[in-house]
Copies of this chain bind each other. A is one copy, B any other.
Amino acid sequence: MRAPRVLRLTALVAGLGLASAGFAGAAADPVTGVAAPAAAPAAPAAFTPTAGLPGQRNAVTDVPGVQVGQVQNRTSPFLTGTSVLYFPTMAVASVDQRGGAPATKETDLLSPLNSNPGVNAVQLGGSSMYGLSATDGIIRWLEDRGEGVPLGSVGVAPIVPAADIYDLGRGGDIKARTGPEWGYVAASNVAGAAVRQGAFGGGTGARAGGLKGGVGTASVYLGDGIYVGAVVVVNSAGSPVDPKTCQLLGAQFGIGDEFAGLKAPTQAECQTVASAAKSDDLNTTIAVVVTNAPLEKAAAQRMSGNAHDGMARAIRPIHTLADGDTVFAVSTGQGEPLRINDPADSRQLNAIFGAGADTLSRAIAKAMLSADSVGGITSYCDRYPSACADVPQAAKWRAAGPAKEMTPRLFDDARQALQVTPLPR
């Protein structure tokens, strides 16, 4: 016997573009049902979220139950790093792996057909398949805190799925790469705070359609306490730039004033097309979308799939055979979950799924605007300066939030912390 649902999120329906106090005067998007106010409200001293607008930080950390930690090194021959999303309360998660050349770990357990009840963290990292080793440091950090699937008196099994981007050798040396120590440092620095965007964390070595890629994040408040957030590392073979106008494809989905001041580049700037990535290059765009609405695991899987649509709108082409595009979806919500096969939940789920896709599109544009030119890869704003002349917020995204620069000292300390039981002599 299952307990009757105590949390039906009926208020959420009212918050999604229907006639309700929360959305009075706001025009609902005909596709997603999410209201998109024409103008953003002035930021009050004490932030009050407005449905249809970003949360306080416009970051995945606006979603209750999500923290982010990042580490990187940008000094030659290094140009790589890793980002970790940490869920203090184990969170239901699933995945949709769609690009043709993935580097992933612990994705099988995320199938709704498998019994895993949730994840402790997700890694979005650099250093390609080598960088999957960074999860071992995250796992150890969690183990030391007693977090993971409980194993009785034995200990815990921390669950940390991961996907990594291809950035090998972009700093000059394939062996200048992340490892368990990096994951340990990233995990040790998680915070429910602003998230540094651009060429940091897992986005340090990223390149997208020949321009500098990076890590980006965004959020939206859906009303009634429900948020949707996204974090993405943009490293695509295809371009996040409209080939006709040279505008960022993802920016068209902006809400509030997040892209205020962003212009179409001058025709002169646009005429010289950015050099496309070589066709034999390996790439990958990876992301996590999160909501604090409680989702069953199958709904999380569907949310991850729908989020790929947001990737498709912001990058063209996407999901090529040279991309390892992978999206994780996570629900930090507690209580009776929303279910795919419950007709009463359909409207709420579609609103959340649509918001996941749009938030991911926005995060992609923010990653591109935040990135600075580094490692000989020109950023969007350096390539099209006329577009970015009046976008001071991009500099803030690039500077906000903790992202540790990896040092020999941090590395040595982490290595020490990672010791396990020595072999018997």
Binding site for B on A (CB under 8 A): 73, 75-78, 97, 99-109, 111, 113-116, 128-130, 132-133, 136, 139, 151-155, 157-159, 168-169, 173-177, 179-180, 280, 282, 321-322, 324, 326, 406-408, 411, 420-425
Whether the Cβ atoms of B420 and A176 lie closer than 8 Å is yes
Which residue of the partner chain, among B139, B169, B420, contacts A129 with CB atoms under 8 Å?
B139
Whether the Cβ atoms of A102 and B114 lie closer than 8 Å is yes
Number of copies: 2
- The 7 residue pairs across chains A and B that have the minimum distance between CB atoms: A154-B169, A155-B174, A176-B421, A115-B321, A100-B115, A175-B421, A102-B108
Which residue of the partner chain, among B73, B151, B174, B420, contacts A154 with CB atoms under 8 Å?
B174
Whether the Cβ atoms of A173 and B108 lie closer than 8 Å is no
Whether the Cβ atoms of A103 and B101 lie closer than 8 Å is no
CA distance A176 to B423 in the complex (A): 8
A152 / chain B contacts, CB cutoff of 8 Å: 280
A159 / chain B contacts, CB cutoff of 8 Å: 129
A100 / chain B contacts, CB cutoff of 8 Å: 113-115
A136 / chain B contacts, CB cutoff of 8 Å: 130, 133, 136, 179
Minimum CB–CB distance for A347 against chain B, Å: 31
A101 / chain B contacts, CB cutoff of 8 Å: 109, 114-116
Whether the Cβ atoms of A168 and B180 lie closer than 8 Å is no
Whether the Cβ atoms of B77 and A105 lie closer than 8 Å is no
Whether the Cβ atoms of B173 and A421 lie closer than 8 Å is yes
A151 / chain B contacts, CB cutoff of 8 Å: 168-169, 174, 282
CA distance A153 to B97 in the complex (A): 28
A168 / chain B contacts, CB cutoff of 8 Å: 151, 154-155, 157
Chain B residue nearest to A109 in the complex (CB): B102
Whether the Cβ atoms of B169 and A155 lie closer than 8 Å is yes
Which residue of the partner chain, among B77, B326, B423, contacts A406 with CB atoms under 8 Å?
B423
Chain B residue nearest to A177 in the complex (CB): B420
A129 / chain B contacts, CB cutoff of 8 Å: 106, 139, 157-159
CA distance A406 to B421 in the complex (A): 13
Minimum CB–CB distance for A116 against chain B, Å: 7
CA distance A99 to B115 in the complex (A): 9
Whether the Cβ atoms of B114 and A132 lie closer than 8 Å is no
A104 / chain B contacts, CB cutoff of 8 Å: 105-109
A108-B107 contact in complex given A100-B115, A177-B420, C-beta closer than 8 Å: yes
A108-B155 contact in complex given A180-B133, A421-B77, C-beta closer than 8 Å: no
Minimum CB–CB distance for A131 against chain B, Å: 10
